[in-house]
Structure 1
Amino acid sequence: MITIEELLVREEGQTFDRKSIQIKPKDLAVAMVAMANADGGDLVVGISDTKREVEGVDGNEIKLNDIRRTPFDFCVPSVNATTELVPCIDRNGQHNHVLVFHIEPGLRVYANQADEVFLRIGDKSKKLSFDERFQLLNDKGQACYEETCVQAAKIGDIDMDLVEDYCKVIGYGKVSMDFLQENHGYLIEKNGEFHPTVVALLLFGKKPQDFLPRASIRFIRYDGVEEKVGKEMNVIKDVVFEGTIRQQIDKAVAYLSTQIKERTYLGDKGLFVTELEYPEFVRQEMTVNAACHRDYSISGTDIQIKLFDDRLVVESPGNLPGLVRPDNIRHTHFSRNPRIARYLKAYTYVKEFGEGVDRMCREMEADGLLPIKYYKNDFILKAVAWSKNAKLLQVGKSNDNHPKSSDKVAISGDKVAISWADIRDNCNKNTIIILEYLMSHYSITNVIAREITGLSSSGVRKIFSNLVTNKIVKAQGSNRDKSYTLIMHFIDR
């Protein structure tokens, strides 16, 4: 059972909030639907959310009854929540209780009585626009996959010791089987027999890959800076890590630490300094994010960690979830797999929802490295971290104040990053349109380029030819289905 001491010291965030007993049910409903639309969480009534004063709820039976009915009377549809009365000593020194709502993440989009939809982002409840609401509706449809029944699996395929350990971590006082049965999403009963769901196997399965064969992490080390195939294949390490999600992450992160380069040198203070190619937190967070947010319904591939001489790439099946986009990923959070996310947070793989990407970028920048960059490529999301070997380049500006229509930008082929400001000053508007599209979508075809620029086929071919020559993009495929991918990173953008 949770204690009042824990409720008082816990910081408000993605999955926790405090409210006064004086709150109106319609206002409480905002926080409820926001949590249900995100990762779920605990909502406490009876503690002032400004001063953290313990007011308690005893003696306010009429108001308390209205508050208890908030999930049913003020949320559409009804939010799935259980309640718990936690004993306390109130601010007047009297024995009292606070009311805790344990809110489950939902598979539907929840609204308040005014048909307004909110989403929990950090410690705030964000009201969604129509377009954001529609996007959330689509992603909720995808999110249900972690609760999909795996009919071939039985209760015996669950390691109850792992369930018991998780119960201890989250303070669940009953036995393991009670946890699986009482918490929605882990077991489904069919014909009098319980079957584990996808998330139950991923978190607690004895051999998850017997039922989910590509739910694993694969590490590939390449010799050089390119991914070659056929006779030129340059793979020098290829290892697959299986087991539960925690086991996969632990093994993959540990192995990755043995593969990155270290540089030891005599520092300014006369002491030897050892530099790693990538900060330790960055390596772990990229792996954790991939395991947490991948789309497990895409069963034809696994998470792939690719290490090149100049960059670390983590490829995860699925697109950016929810309202997250490449331009807001540092400060926006949405869990495609909320139960996996809460599980990893309970084991401190995640400190606080929504802060990991921003911290990765800050640590990279503090080490003089480029921030993490995300690309969407069909059904794969790619996260790229450039190493200390990556060389930066400032493109020479033109002698006049006008962009060069010819786009003749002199770029040395061994560089991996250039100034976006200089690109903008030296390239025409259609080249900028194409590059901005590539920064969000990773690849582009001649057809798409014509649609977004209005140019003819020969016009976009001329732009692509110059970008390929300057090693900003790389051409892939034959003439009929040729596409172009971005191989240059832009700074100052």
Structure 2
Amino acid sequence: MRYTIEELQHMPEGQTFDCKSIHIDPKALATTIIAMANADGGMIAVGISDKTRRIEGIDQDKVHLNEILRTPFDFCVPTVNVVTEYIPCIDCNGSENHIMIIHVPASPRLHANQADEVFWRVGDKSRKLSFEERLRLMYDKGERYYEDSPTYNASLEDIDMDVVKAYMERIGYGKTAMEYLTENKGFVTYKDDEPQVSAACILLFGKRPQTFFPRARVRFIRYVGTEEKFGREMNVIKDVTFEGRILDQIQKTVEYLETQVKEHSYLGENGVFRTDREYPKFVIQEMVVNSCCHRDYSIKGTEIQIKMFEDRLVFETPGKLPGIVRTDNIRHTHFSRNPKIAEYLKAYDYVKEFGEGVDRMCRELKAIGTREPQYNLVAFIMKATVYANLVTERHDIGGYGYVDTIVSEPYFEKGQERGKRRAREGQDYILNIIEANPKISISKLAKECGLSVKATRIVLDGLRKKGLLIRVGPDFGGYWKVKGSDYSL
């Protein structure tokens, strides 16, 4: 997007925009470029005073301008590949001049200045990172991997060699288990003749991984309703934790989630049985695998949490999106925070093709009429939300089709035409009963339709929301009024 001079002059400085005078010291400018490149990228307008917002321009100082142009090469390590753009203007002296726009891309690499200082853009400031913050940024950008770091106090005795051998057999490796661990992926290295066992080794092959990584586990929490409540209103009905090696966690979690997903099989058209599910099987597995495979294991204070509500599943995974992955490119961009763990899971067919999973999830969800997963970062937790295809038990109501115990607008609007037809027929049947007996009680209506009272209330609420049915008078002593049958779902 090309901005006007007026827009640039009045644009507030922030995470992705800054103004700099033409007199800026190149080393100081490098700090801003480095901070933006390490974070979300941004744009720097050179020639507009950051203090007074006067339009100074750049044409009057060609020598200093050349120094500024060399800043990404001379003062950034490694070089930041910026793009420059020139916008004509009238400067504060009334002369024709130019403003230079430096477009700084979000970089997949970690950048420092000549003094080996690393900066990160926070709001309108460039903040110097501590050693621990710098290390975490290196993990995020894939310049170093936490999974390769030595596990404190772990020894060879903590490795289950039978699990290593089982994996070797699966990938066709013919040497000994120790040769595999030391010669291939650096699972075991030596320092001063002392074995160093990596985090990946413990997480994949450890006898008791939670001894070293207590929160490297998956916790499943199921709630009544659509919101998380606390205190006296706490609505948790299931709370289960899965531990062990990563492969064990994935298998146990996926198996358990399958017991929690609602599905209904019924005889469809042409005498073929059809099964409707809240969530496709692939989506369940892929979300669990992604959480275990891509979580930031250097964050030790919390576990992966999977929260199930009546209308959605929320996967809360410690760690930001890794590397160059962003919420707007996650569907087609692959970057693994833990490549050794990802490769291991691929051998067990939990990772099909690198980078294919999210796109396939989106396609499968679209096929059943639900939107693609939504991602948002809260502090250091990445939350991925998968919305349910609201399907519950269907009840045959005497040859008039089926009525769902949950009436879902998105389901009817985006579902298959057959589902729409059956829903219309079922609703027509209920409306006909009410029209014949406006004072009918909900319990009697439920009995006549073959539904539960709760399901009947839900259906009636749906009809009222559509404007097809209104309640006249109180719950006791009032009556129903059908407003008409000319409607569409």
Q: Report TM bin, short chain.
A: 0.5 to 0.7
Report the alpha carbon displacement of residue 140 of structure 1 after superposing the two structures with TM.
3.8
Counterparts of residues 103-182 of structure 1 (less than 5 Å): 131-134=106-109, 138=138, 139-140=140-141, 143-182=144-183
Equivalence for 1:258: 259
Report the alpha carbon displacement of residue 371 of structure 1 after superposing the two structures with TM.
1.1
Counterparts of residues 24-39 of structure 1 (less than 5 Å): none
SS for the counterpart of 2:345 is helix
Equivalence for 1:9: none
Counterparts of residues 33-432 of structure 1 (less than 5 Å): 131-134=106-109, 138=138, 139-140=140-141, 143-389=144-390
Letter of the structure 2 residue corresponding to residue 329 of structure 1: I
Q: Distance in 2 between matches of 1:266 and 1:332?
A: 40
Q: Distance in 2 between matches of 1:255 and 1:307?
A: 12
Letter of the structure 1 residue corresponding to residue 276 of structure 2: E
Gaps of 5+ in 1: 1-109, 117-128, 391-413, 420-493
SS for the counterpart of 1:292 is helix
Any idea what the Cα deviations from partners look like across 1:355-385, whole Å, max 9, x if unmatched?
A: 0000001001011111111111110111111
Counterparts of residues 443-458 of structure 1 (less than 5 Å): none
- Closer, same or farther in 2 for the Cα pair 1:306/1:209, shift >3 Å? same
Counterparts of residues 468-483 of structure 1 (less than 5 Å): none
Larger radius of gyration: 2
Report the alpha carbon displacement of residue 167 of structure 1 after superposing the two structures with TM.
1.5
SS for the counterpart of 1:353 is coil
Tell me, yes or no, if the aligned pair for 1:375 and 1:381 is still in contact at 8 Å.
yes
Tell me, yes or no, if the aligned pair for 1:326 and 1:375 is still in contact at 8 Å.
yes
Any idea what the Cα deviations from partners look like across 1:54-80, whole Å, max 9, x if unmatched?
A: xxxxxxxxxxxxxxxxxxxxxxxxxxx
Q: Distance in 1 between matches of 2:280 and 2:264?
A: 13
Gaps of 5+ in 2: 1-76, 82-103, 112-136, 392-407, 414-489
- Closer, same or farther in 2 for the Cα pair 1:326/1:133, shift >3 Å? closer
Q: Distance in 1 between matches of 2:344 and 2:166?
A: 11
Q: Which region of structure 1 is more displaced relative to structure 2, 182-191 or 368-377?
A: 182-191
SS for the counterpart of 2:271 is coil
Q: Distance in 2 between matches of 1:346 and 1:211?
A: 25
Report the alpha carbon displacement of residue 200 of structure 1 after superposing the two structures with TM.
0.2
- Closer, same or farther in 2 for the Cα pair 1:171/1:360, shift >3 Å? same
Tell me, yes or no, if the aligned pair for 2:295 and 2:319 is still in contact at 8 Å.
yes
Tell me, yes or no, if the aligned pair for 1:307 and 1:313 is still in contact at 8 Å.
yes
Letter of the structure 2 residue corresponding to residue 249 of structure 1: I
Report the alpha carbon displacement of residue 315 of structure 1 after superposing the two structures with TM.
0.9
Report the alpha carbon displacement of residue 168 of structure 1 after superposing the two structures with TM.
1.9
Q: Distance in 1 between matches of 2:148 and 2:105?
A: 27
Report the alpha carbon displacement of residue 284 of structure 1 after superposing the two structures with TM.
0.2
Q: Distance in 2 between matches of 1:380 and 1:416?
A: 28
Percent identity over the alignment?
Answer: 56
Report the alpha carbon displacement of residue 191 of structure 1 after superposing the two structures with TM.
4.5
Any idea what the Cα deviations from partners look like across 1:194-224, whole Å, max 9, x if unmatched?
A: 1321100010001100111000011111111
Tell me, yes or no, if the aligned pair for 1:158 and 1:204 is still in contact at 8 Å.
yes
Letter of the structure 1 residue corresponding to residue 305 of structure 2: Q
Letter of the structure 2 residue corresponding to residue 131 of structure 1: A
Tell me, yes or no, if the aligned pair for 1:219 and 1:237 is still in contact at 8 Å.
yes
List 4+ stretches of structure 1 deviating above 6 A.
414-417
Q: Distance in 2 between matches of 1:182 and 1:264?
A: 51
- Closer, same or farther in 2 for the Cα pair 1:301/1:142, shift >3 Å? farther
Q: Distance in 1 between matches of 2:144 and 2:238?
A: 33
Q: Distance in 1 between matches of 2:379 and 2:326?
A: 15
Q: Distance in 2 between matches of 1:313 and 1:167?
A: 35
- Closer, same or farther in 2 for the Cα pair 1:246/1:273, shift >3 Å? same
Equivalence for 1:469: none
Any idea what the Cα deviations from partners look like across 1:294-329, whole Å, max 9, x if unmatched?
A: 000010001111111000111110011111111111
Any idea what the Cα deviations from partners look like across 1:375-406, whole Å, max 9, x if unmatched?
A: 1111011111111129xxxxxxxxxxxxxxxx
Letter of the structure 1 residue corresponding to residue 383 of structure 2: K
Q: Distance in 2 between matches of 1:319 and 1:370?
A: 22
- Closer, same or farther in 2 for the Cα pair 1:133/1:282, shift >3 Å? closer
Q: Distance in 1 between matches of 2:346 and 2:273?
A: 36
Report the alpha carbon displacement of residue 415 of structure 1 after superposing the two structures with TM.
7.5
Q: Distance in 2 between matches of 1:215 and 1:143?
A: 20
Tell me, yes or no, if the aligned pair for 2:221 and 2:307 is still in contact at 8 Å.
yes
Q: Distance in 2 between matches of 1:364 and 1:141?
A: 30
Report the alpha carbon displacement of residue 269 of structure 1 after superposing the two structures with TM.
2.2
- Closer, same or farther in 2 for the Cα pair 1:363/1:141, shift >3 Å? closer
Q: Distance in 1 between matches of 2:144 and 2:253?
A: 25
Equivalence for 1:406: none
Letter of the structure 2 residue corresponding to residue 236 of structure 1: I
Q: Which region of structure 1 is more displaced relative to structure 2, 195-204 or 266-275?
A: 266-275
Give the TM-score normalised by structure 2: 0.52
SS for the counterpart of 1:257 is helix
Give the TM-score normalised by structure 1: 0.52
Q: Distance in 2 between matches of 1:143 and 1:215?
A: 20
Tell me, yes or no, if the aligned pair for 1:142 and 1:336 is still in contact at 8 Å.
no
